[in-house]
Amino acid sequence: MKNINLHTLSQMKSEGKKFSCLTAYDATFAQLVSEAGVEVILVGDSLGMVLQGNDSTLPVSVEEMAYHTACVKKGNKGAFIMADLPFMSYSTPEQAMDSAAALMQAGAHIVKLEGAAWLADSISLLSERGVPVCAHLGLTPQTVNVLGGYRVQGRGEAAEQLLNDAKALEQAGAAMLLLECVPADLAKAVTEAVSVPVIGIGAGADTDAQVLVLHDMLGVTSGRKPRFVKNFLAETDSIQAAVSAYAEAVHNQTFPQPENWFE
């Protein structure tokens, strides 16, 4: 796979081509995922749960994110690397710059922040200084205690606010958006309203891309499975084949299906 960059992903959006995103946290899986044709590797703060065994993403530190980003960079074979800024590491624009610098220097190509229009100043500052930003809207796991659990966001009157937030963050300089657990029709409206690529998880089939946590996609995560998860390993005979099947299903739009999204 040729090296993927923001221009590549923007061109895919403009041409109506879907791209895939999958988490990875080490060199071995970064190589496997990138060689399978997945365009974007997310070094997610989900590592706090799937690697560290915590019950949320909140305990993850910038130093831990930088370490895993550096590991992914060493194994990556051309994918675009996105890294999460963890909980309370971007509460001010100045803190966001310091945290983003650590992840970019570790090997990230873009950083992801969770929030709404209040992120505009930080996003503007980062993008002006050469740090691409993906803004994460909808269900934002770092604020799960405020949201009252892992609930669908953007229903009813909240839909207009989320759409306005998406537009405001694009205007502030966000290079990508990620929508988690929002109604499919709202995700479609956001994707059509902005010019930047939109990644979805539990957000219907009309976003420009899909993302899953690697461990969920392989069916090895314990506990209750979210409806947006599909176990691709169950239909294949190896991890490599499962990852390739996931990428192909996103590309040819056979995943997600209606049972994987919310109305």
Which residues does 109 contact at the CB level (< 8 Å), separation at least 6? Answer: 5, 6, 80, 81, 82, 132
From the candidates 128, 160, 180, 235, give the one annotated as an active-site residue: 180
Q: CA angle, 21 as apex, 15 and 23 as ends, to 5°?
A: 170
Tell me whether residue 61 is annotated as binding: no
Tell me whether residue 46 is annotated as binding: yes
Tell me whether residue 84 is annotated as binding: yes
For residue 80, list its beta bridge partners: 40
Q: Tell me whether residue 157 is one of the annotated catalytic residues.
A: no
Tell me whether residue 26 is annotated as binding: no
Pairing of strands 133-138, 176-180: parallel
Tell me whether residue 45 is annotated as binding: yes
Kind and range of the H or E element at 64? Answer: helix 62-75
Distance CA 67, CA 87 (A): 16
Positions at the binding site for 3-methyl-2-oxobutanoate: 45-46, 84, 112
Positions at the binding site for Mg(2+): 45, 84, 114
Which residues are tagged catalytic? Answer: 180
Positions at the binding site: 45-46, 84, 112, 114
